[in-house]
Copies of this chain bind each other. A is one copy, B any other.
Amino acid sequence: MSELLLDRSRCSVAGTLAVVGEKWTLLVLREAFLGVRRFADFQRILGAPKAVLTDRLAGLVDQGILRRVPYQAEGERQRHEYRLTRKGIDLFPTLVSLMEWGDRYLADGDAPLEIDHRDCGARVHLTLTCDAGHPVDGVRDVTSVRRG
């Protein structure tokens, strides 16, 4: 039972959830991945309370996951939009993993949204593999080792 002695306080899962684990945050990011950039669009699509949305967007900008970019459409005044940074883009696998689980267990295997490889058009999915190239089926194929 040595795993029970692990220092959970510096666990990366807890750290990541402290950053993106609040209500609406991951849904904001889902929309960002689908191309949404403006406050009003986030608000209309998600239906989140504006005050909460303001808070989540500010938090994501603080964390460097989104950045505010000023822009000006013709015939409109200057506004700013929210764009994913590299740090934000790297949350894409997390979103995909949530989507794949929901597709399997909540949508009866019927994916409302399909993600395809831009180059070849084939379906994209997440896989666990080891550095030697073997497929890893799940937690039973794995050992966890504390480091430090």
Contacts and interface: CB of A to CB of B under 8 A. Distances in A.
A129 B125 contact: yes
A52 interface: no
Number of chain A interface residues as a range: 35 or more
A15 B138 CA distance: 22
A102 interface: yes
B134 A99 contact: no
A40 to B, nearest CB: 11
Nearest to A12: B102
A91 to B, nearest CB: 6
Contacts of A10: 107, 112
A78 interface: no
B101 A90 contact: yes
Interface in A1-40: 1, 3-4, 6-8, 10-17, 19, 21, 23, 26-27, 30-31, 33-36
Interface of A: 1, 3-4, 6-8, 10-17, 19, 21, 23, 26-27, 30-31, 33-36, 41, 45-46, 84, 87, 89-107, 110-120, 122-132, 134, 136, 138-148
